[in-house]
Amino acid sequence: MKLLIDLGNSRLKWCWSSAGAAGDPGALDHRGSSGAELAAALPDPSGPVDEIRVASVASPVLTAALTAALADRYGCRPAVAVSAAVAGGLRNGYREPRQLGVDRWLALRGAWAREPQSAACVIAAGTAFTLDLVLPGGEHLGGLIVPGLSLMQEALKGATGNLARLSAEDPPPLAGEPVGSELVGQATGEAMARGALWALAGLASHHFGVLRERWPGARLVVTGGDAPRLLSLLPASAEHRPHLVLEGLALDPFTAGQLPGSAGSRAESRA
């Protein structure tokens, strides 16, 4: 049995995989939790654990503590995923492949593996908002990184004199009103929230549109915790794949190594 773990900036997702079939993913908020607490919060397996794969964009300290606790609990040393120059026909477009965040690399692998002959615009809407483009046949062109919804609003509050105070005075939204369904806001907090939503939706729609002009069968694939808030503003063809990193983490070949930036880091690929 295989345990897959996606350790993000604020949430941990996991999935058990056995005999080529993946079970239902689970998730928990890990802010303020130790590695030992996170390992203890995971469910018991239904059989022996023979492989643990971890993808992490959290701090190296938390990642190391979690992998040590997982080894103690399940009796299996976890392998930490790293970005590779090429895997399964997908070619990393970064000049230095290891600079591409492993979550983005695995999301690209998960998206591309399903339809490798189609171009794709892959969006991850989380703490940071990332956009990556991949062409038919597996050529990753590169990507963009901008602040996510919360970071955009926090930046406005921290860099201006009145927006934090004014947004705190906003009345609550009307019951049942879908966030981002209107073009503009009618109070400071609304204006900031909808401005952030439309900025990210506009960026995604623009780049997807350019890609689709050249490759008409191009797909728009969206993942990340804020994806549900953006989907209503994106083209109707957008695919919501909430567990895209786990999908990529399950694929072979799998490249493991020390965390990016670690001294003497070395990668190894497993079929």
Same domain, 175 and 76: no
In a domain, 104, yes or no: no
Would you say 256 and 266 are in contact if contact means Cβ atoms under 8 Å apart? no
Same domain, 217 and 257: no
In a domain, 103, yes or no: no
Same domain, 167 and 255: no
Same domain, 255 and 202: no
The catalytic position among 6, 29, 44, 103 is 103
Q: Does the active-site annotation cover 103?
A: yes
Same domain, 263 and 216: no
Would you say 255 and 268 are in contact if contact means Cβ atoms under 8 Å apart? yes
Same domain, 163 and 229: yes
Same domain, 143 and 236: yes
In a domain, 88, yes or no: no
Number of domains in the chain: 2
Same domain, 218 and 178: yes
In a domain, 233, yes or no: yes
Q: Which residues lie across from 155 on neighbouring strands?
A: none
In a domain, 225, yes or no: yes
Provide CB contacts within 8 A for 68, sequence distance 6+.
35
**Quick check: pTM over 0.85?**
yes
Provide CB contacts within 8 A for 99, sequence distance 6+.
83, 260
Structure tokens at 32: 């303020």
In a domain, 213, yes or no: yes
Same domain, 213 and 127: yes
Give the phi and the psi of residue 194 in degrees, each rounded to 5: -75, -30
Each residue's pLDDT, cut to its tens digit, for the chain (271 residues) gives: 899 999 998 899 999 987 555 678 999 999 899 999 999 999 898 889 999 999 999 999 999 999 999 999 999 999 999 999 999 999 999 999 999 999 999 999 999 999 999 999 999 999 999 999 999 999 999 999 999 999 999 998 888 878 888 888 876 555 445 554 578 888 888 888 899 999 999 999 999 999 999 999 999 999 999 999 999 999 999 999 999 999 999 999 999 987 544 444 445 666 5
- Domain containing 261 equals 2-82+250-270
Same domain, 145 and 229: yes
Residue entry with tokens 């609550």: 172
Same domain, 140 and 188: yes
Instruction: Kindly report the CATH number assigned to the domain that includes residue 62.
Output: 3.30.420.40
